[in-house]
Amino acid sequence: MAHVRDDRPFRGAAPPAAAYFYSPDRGGEHPAKHLANFTGFLQADGGACPRAGQRPDPGAGFEALYGPRRTGDGLLANAGITEVACWAHCRRKFYDYWIAKKSPVAKEAIDRIAAFYEIEAKARFAHPDERMAHRVGTAPLLTAFFGWAEKVVTKLSAKSDLAEAFRYTIKRREALSRFLTDARLEIDNNIAENAIRAIALGRKNYLFAGADSGGDRAAAMYTIVQTAKLNDVNPEAYLRDTLARIAEGHPINRIGALMPWTIR
Protein backbone atom coordinates (compact mmCIF):
# COMPACT_ATOMS: atom_id res chain seq x y z
CA MET A 1 0.00 0.00 0.00
CA ALA A 2 1.36 3.41 -0.94
CA HIS A 3 0.53 6.88 0.38
CA VAL A 4 1.77 9.73 -1.79
CA ARG A 5 1.93 13.49 -1.30
CA ASP A 6 2.62 15.54 -4.38
CA ASP A 7 1.69 19.22 -4.28
CA ARG A 8 3.50 20.16 -7.48
CA PRO A 9 0.38 20.16 -9.73
CA PHE A 10 -0.99 23.16 -7.81
CA ARG A 11 2.45 24.64 -7.07
CA GLY A 12 2.32 23.79 -3.39
CA ALA A 13 5.38 24.28 -1.20
CA ALA A 14 5.58 20.84 0.44
CA PRO A 15 8.13 18.48 -1.13
CA PRO A 16 6.74 15.33 -2.74
CA ALA A 17 7.04 12.11 -0.74
CA ALA A 18 5.86 8.51 -0.79
CA ALA A 19 5.37 6.07 2.08
CA TYR A 20 4.83 2.36 1.52
CA PHE A 21 3.33 -0.08 4.01
CA TYR A 22 3.28 -3.84 3.83
CA SER A 23 0.18 -5.81 4.85
CA PRO A 24 -0.50 -9.53 4.43
CA ASP A 25 -3.92 -8.89 2.85
CA ARG A 26 -6.17 -6.10 1.54
CA GLY A 27 -8.27 -5.76 4.69
CA GLY A 28 -9.61 -2.31 5.55
CA GLU A 29 -8.08 -2.44 9.03
CA HIS A 30 -4.62 -1.78 7.58
CA PRO A 31 -5.24 1.69 6.07
CA ALA A 32 -7.41 2.47 9.12
CA LYS A 33 -4.35 1.86 11.30
CA HIS A 34 -2.01 3.88 9.07
CA LEU A 35 -4.43 6.81 8.95
CA ALA A 36 -5.73 6.64 12.52
CA ASN A 37 -4.66 10.23 13.25
CA PHE A 38 -5.14 11.65 9.77
CA THR A 39 -7.76 14.25 8.91
CA GLY A 40 -8.29 15.90 5.56
CA PHE A 41 -8.85 14.85 1.96
CA LEU A 42 -8.06 11.29 0.91
CA GLN A 43 -8.06 10.06 -2.67
CA ALA A 44 -7.99 6.29 -2.57
CA ASP A 45 -6.48 3.82 -4.99
CA GLY A 46 -8.00 0.74 -6.60
CA GLY A 47 -8.39 -1.07 -3.29
CA ALA A 48 -11.82 0.51 -3.09
CA CYS A 49 -12.54 0.25 -6.81
CA PRO A 50 -12.74 -3.25 -8.33
CA ARG A 51 -12.58 -3.69 -12.08
CA ALA A 52 -15.60 -4.63 -14.13
CA GLY A 53 -16.76 -8.14 -13.33
CA GLN A 54 -15.31 -8.10 -9.81
CA ARG A 55 -17.46 -7.86 -6.72
CA PRO A 56 -16.57 -5.02 -4.32
CA ASP A 57 -15.25 -6.14 -0.95
CA PRO A 58 -16.78 -3.95 1.81
CA GLY A 59 -13.95 -4.87 4.15
CA ALA A 60 -11.19 -3.93 1.75
CA GLY A 61 -9.49 -0.68 0.90
CA PHE A 62 -10.44 2.72 2.24
CA GLU A 63 -14.25 2.74 2.08
CA ALA A 64 -14.76 2.45 5.84
CA LEU A 65 -12.61 5.53 6.49
CA TYR A 66 -15.02 7.96 4.86
CA GLY A 67 -17.85 7.62 7.35
CA PRO A 68 -18.18 7.64 11.14
CA ARG A 69 -15.99 5.11 12.97
CA ARG A 70 -16.43 3.41 16.33
CA THR A 71 -14.08 4.47 19.09
CA GLY A 72 -12.72 2.21 21.82
CA ASP A 73 -15.79 2.83 23.98
CA GLY A 74 -18.10 1.84 21.13
CA LEU A 75 -19.26 5.38 20.31
CA LEU A 76 -19.41 6.66 16.76
CA ALA A 77 -16.82 9.30 15.96
CA ASN A 78 -16.45 11.36 12.80
CA ALA A 79 -13.50 10.01 10.82
CA GLY A 80 -12.45 13.52 9.77
CA ILE A 81 -11.52 12.15 6.34
CA THR A 82 -13.19 13.48 3.19
CA GLU A 83 -13.30 11.22 0.14
CA VAL A 84 -12.02 12.46 -3.20
CA ALA A 85 -12.92 9.82 -5.77
CA CYS A 86 -10.89 8.87 -8.82
CA TRP A 87 -12.13 9.39 -12.37
CA ALA A 88 -9.39 7.16 -13.78
CA HIS A 89 -10.77 4.16 -11.91
CA CYS A 90 -14.30 4.91 -13.09
CA ARG A 91 -13.09 5.34 -16.66
CA ARG A 92 -11.31 1.98 -16.46
CA LYS A 93 -14.61 0.20 -15.86
CA PHE A 94 -16.11 1.72 -19.01
CA TYR A 95 -12.91 1.09 -20.95
CA ASP A 96 -12.81 -2.59 -19.99
CA TYR A 97 -16.39 -2.98 -21.20
CA TRP A 98 -15.63 -1.11 -24.43
CA ILE A 99 -12.67 -3.40 -25.15
CA ALA A 100 -14.75 -6.51 -24.42
CA LYS A 101 -18.04 -5.56 -26.09
CA LYS A 102 -17.41 -2.51 -28.30
CA SER A 103 -20.45 -0.90 -26.69
CA PRO A 104 -21.24 2.58 -28.10
CA VAL A 105 -22.65 3.57 -24.70
CA ALA A 106 -19.35 2.69 -23.00
CA LYS A 107 -17.49 4.60 -25.73
CA GLU A 108 -19.64 7.68 -25.14
CA ALA A 109 -18.89 7.51 -21.41
CA ILE A 110 -15.16 7.36 -22.19
CA ASP A 111 -15.43 10.33 -24.57
CA ARG A 112 -17.36 12.41 -22.04
CA ILE A 113 -14.75 11.69 -19.35
CA ALA A 114 -11.99 12.59 -21.83
CA ALA A 115 -13.46 16.09 -22.03
CA PHE A 116 -12.81 16.53 -18.29
CA TYR A 117 -9.19 15.55 -18.80
CA GLU A 118 -8.71 18.00 -21.66
CA ILE A 119 -9.45 20.81 -19.23
CA GLU A 120 -7.31 19.28 -16.48
CA ALA A 121 -4.34 19.18 -18.86
CA LYS A 122 -4.51 22.98 -19.00
CA ALA A 123 -4.98 23.31 -15.22
CA ARG A 124 -2.06 21.07 -14.26
CA PHE A 125 0.89 22.97 -12.72
CA ALA A 126 -1.04 26.25 -12.90
CA HIS A 127 -1.39 28.64 -9.96
CA PRO A 128 -4.39 27.75 -7.76
CA ASP A 129 -6.56 30.63 -8.98
CA GLU A 130 -5.83 29.81 -12.62
CA ARG A 131 -6.42 26.14 -11.94
CA MET A 132 -9.88 26.84 -10.55
CA ALA A 133 -10.66 29.21 -13.43
CA HIS A 134 -10.02 26.38 -15.90
CA ARG A 135 -12.26 24.06 -13.93
CA VAL A 136 -15.24 26.38 -14.26
CA GLY A 137 -15.65 24.80 -17.68
CA THR A 138 -15.67 21.30 -16.20
CA ALA A 139 -18.70 21.85 -13.94
CA PRO A 140 -21.37 21.85 -16.70
CA LEU A 141 -19.69 18.84 -18.33
CA LEU A 142 -19.96 16.92 -15.06
CA THR A 143 -23.59 17.90 -14.64
CA ALA A 144 -24.34 16.76 -18.19
CA PHE A 145 -22.46 13.48 -17.67
CA PHE A 146 -24.40 12.50 -14.57
CA GLY A 147 -27.73 13.57 -16.08
CA TRP A 148 -27.00 11.37 -19.10
CA ALA A 149 -25.71 8.49 -16.95
CA GLU A 150 -28.81 8.42 -14.75
CA LYS A 151 -31.01 8.08 -17.84
CA VAL A 152 -28.83 5.52 -19.60
CA VAL A 153 -28.45 3.16 -16.63
CA THR A 154 -32.23 2.61 -16.46
CA LYS A 155 -32.13 1.17 -19.99
CA LEU A 156 -29.38 -1.38 -19.30
CA SER A 157 -29.60 -4.88 -17.94
CA ALA A 158 -29.18 -4.44 -14.18
CA LYS A 159 -26.81 -7.42 -14.03
CA SER A 160 -24.44 -6.20 -16.76
CA ASP A 161 -20.93 -4.96 -16.04
CA LEU A 162 -21.77 -1.74 -17.87
CA ALA A 163 -24.70 -1.06 -15.53
CA GLU A 164 -22.39 -1.72 -12.59
CA ALA A 165 -19.90 0.79 -14.01
CA PHE A 166 -22.63 3.42 -14.18
CA ARG A 167 -23.93 2.62 -10.69
CA TYR A 168 -20.43 2.79 -9.24
CA THR A 169 -19.84 6.19 -10.83
CA ILE A 170 -23.25 7.68 -10.03
CA LYS A 171 -22.99 6.58 -6.40
CA ARG A 172 -19.76 8.59 -6.05
CA ARG A 173 -20.98 11.74 -7.78
CA GLU A 174 -20.21 14.01 -4.84
CA ALA A 175 -16.72 12.60 -4.29
CA LEU A 176 -15.99 12.63 -8.04
CA SER A 177 -16.99 16.30 -8.23
CA ARG A 178 -14.96 17.38 -5.21
CA PHE A 179 -11.85 18.29 -7.20
CA LEU A 180 -13.82 21.24 -8.60
CA THR A 181 -14.05 22.81 -5.14
CA ASP A 182 -10.37 22.97 -4.16
CA ALA A 183 -7.28 23.66 -6.27
CA ARG A 184 -5.25 21.19 -4.20
CA LEU A 185 -7.34 18.24 -5.34
CA GLU A 186 -6.75 16.06 -8.38
CA ILE A 187 -9.17 14.54 -10.87
CA ASP A 188 -7.69 11.11 -10.27
CA ASN A 189 -5.34 9.09 -8.12
CA ASN A 190 -2.76 8.38 -10.82
CA ILE A 191 0.08 9.83 -8.75
CA ALA A 192 -0.31 6.97 -6.27
CA GLU A 193 -1.08 4.46 -9.02
CA ASN A 194 2.25 5.30 -10.66
CA ALA A 195 3.99 4.79 -7.32
CA ILE A 196 2.50 1.29 -7.03
CA ARG A 197 3.45 0.30 -10.58
CA ALA A 198 7.04 -0.46 -9.55
CA ILE A 199 5.78 -3.08 -7.10
CA ALA A 200 3.66 -4.78 -9.77
CA LEU A 201 6.65 -4.88 -12.12
CA GLY A 202 8.97 -6.09 -9.38
CA ARG A 203 6.76 -9.04 -8.52
CA LYS A 204 7.41 -10.45 -11.98
CA ASN A 205 11.12 -10.58 -11.18
CA TYR A 206 11.47 -11.55 -7.54
CA LEU A 207 7.94 -12.98 -7.02
CA PHE A 208 7.76 -12.70 -3.23
CA ALA A 209 9.26 -11.03 -0.15
CA GLY A 210 9.79 -14.32 1.72
CA ALA A 211 8.15 -13.28 4.99
CA ASP A 212 6.16 -10.48 6.62
CA SER A 213 9.43 -8.99 7.88
CA GLY A 214 10.72 -9.02 4.30
CA GLY A 215 7.59 -7.20 3.19
CA ASP A 216 8.18 -4.50 5.82
CA ARG A 217 11.78 -4.06 4.69
CA ALA A 218 10.75 -3.91 1.05
CA ALA A 219 8.18 -1.21 1.92
CA ALA A 220 10.90 0.82 3.65
CA MET A 221 13.17 0.58 0.62
CA TYR A 222 10.36 1.50 -1.77
CA THR A 223 9.64 4.54 0.41
CA ILE A 224 13.23 5.77 0.16
CA VAL A 225 13.67 5.06 -3.53
CA GLN A 226 10.32 6.48 -4.69
CA THR A 227 10.64 9.63 -2.57
CA ALA A 228 14.08 10.22 -4.07
CA LYS A 229 12.66 9.79 -7.58
CA LEU A 230 9.76 12.17 -6.86
CA ASN A 231 12.35 14.79 -5.89
CA ASP A 232 14.41 14.19 -9.04
CA VAL A 233 17.25 12.65 -7.04
CA ASN A 234 19.12 9.56 -8.26
CA PRO A 235 18.15 6.86 -5.71
CA GLU A 236 21.48 5.00 -5.89
CA ALA A 237 23.52 8.15 -5.43
CA TYR A 238 21.22 9.30 -2.64
CA LEU A 239 21.51 5.99 -0.74
CA ARG A 240 25.30 5.89 -1.19
CA ASP A 241 25.69 9.44 0.14
CA THR A 242 23.21 8.99 3.00
CA LEU A 243 24.72 5.73 4.23
CA ALA A 244 28.18 7.28 4.12
CA ARG A 245 27.02 10.27 6.17
CA ILE A 246 25.36 7.96 8.73
CA ALA A 247 28.57 5.91 8.99
CA GLU A 248 30.51 9.11 9.59
CA GLY A 249 28.33 9.90 12.61
CA HIS A 250 25.47 12.05 11.37
CA PRO A 251 23.43 12.87 14.52
CA ILE A 252 20.06 11.13 14.81
CA ASN A 253 18.39 14.35 15.97
CA ARG A 254 19.20 15.89 12.57
CA ILE A 255 17.66 13.15 10.46
CA GLY A 256 15.62 15.78 8.60
CA ALA A 257 18.82 16.97 6.95
CA LEU A 258 19.07 13.64 5.15
CA MET A 259 15.69 13.76 3.43
CA PRO A 260 15.81 13.53 -0.37
CA TRP A 261 14.31 17.00 -0.85
CA THR A 262 17.30 18.55 0.97
CA ILE A 263 19.67 17.38 -1.79
CA ARG A 264 20.61 20.09 -4.25
What pLDDT digit, counting tens, does each position of 154-203 carry? 999 999 999 999 999 999 999 999 999 999 999 999 998 888 887 777 76
Q: Residue 36 in 3-state DSSP?
A: coil
**For residues 78, 79, 85 and 89, what is the CA-based torsion angle, rounded to 10 degrees?**
-130
Enter the pTM of the model.
0.82
Separation CA 62–CA 229 (nearest Å): 26
- What's the domain range around 105? 23-191
Residues 6+ away with beta carbon under 8 Å from 186: 9, 43, 84, 179
**Residue type, position 30, single letter:** H
Residue 175: inside a domain:
yes
Residue 96: inside a domain:
yes
Residue 40: inside a domain:
yes
Phi/psi at 82 (5° precision):
-105, 125
Residue 239: inside a domain:
no
Q: Of residues 130 and 31, which shows the higher confidence score? A: 130
> What is the residue-averaged pLDDT of the chain?
87
Contact 162, 97 (CB under 8 A): yes
Q: Of residues 137 and 55, which shows the higher confidence score? A: 137
Separation CA 137–CA 118 (nearest Å): 10
Distance between terminal CA atoms of the chain? 29
Separation CA 84–CA 184 (nearest Å): 11
Q: How many domains does the chain have?
A: 1
User: Taking residues 123-130, what's their average pLDDT?
Assistant: 95
Residue 206: inside a domain:
no
